[in-house]
């Protein structure tokens, strides 16, 4: 059986690098969509400009709400 990306990608194997890459991905992808987010230092969640927390298991995307 083939190994998963999590097992083979050096940026995903290391938990610290994985966390940094995910944060960078969320920030840049949101910016491309025109959504300004920042990370809440206390909780680690990403927060919209209107203070709504974005959870990683959200079922809707910005495009599906229109």
User: So what's the pLDDT on residue 65?
Assistant: 47
Determine phi and psi for 37, rounding to 5 degrees.
-125, 160
Domain boundaries, the chain: 5-54
Cβ 38 vs Cβ 30: under 8 Å: no
User: So what's the pLDDT on residue 66?
Assistant: 44
Tens-digit pLDDT string for the chain (66 aa) = 889 988 888 878 888 888 888 888 888 888 888 888 878 778 878 877 665 444 555 544 555 444
* Residue 30 to residue 40: CA distance in whole angstroms: 15
Spatial strand order of the sheet with 37-39 comes to: 37-39, 46-48, 53-54
H/E stretch holding 54 reads strand 53-54
């Amino acid at each position: 059986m083939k190994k998963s990306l999590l097992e083979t990608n050096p940026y995903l194997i290391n938990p610290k690098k994985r966390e940094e890459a995910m944060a960078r991905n969320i920030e840049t992808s949101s910016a491309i969509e025109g959504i300004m987010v920042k990370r809440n230092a206390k909780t680690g969640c990403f927060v919209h400009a209107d203070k709504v927390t974005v959870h990683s298991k959200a079922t809707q995307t910005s495009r599906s709400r229109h």
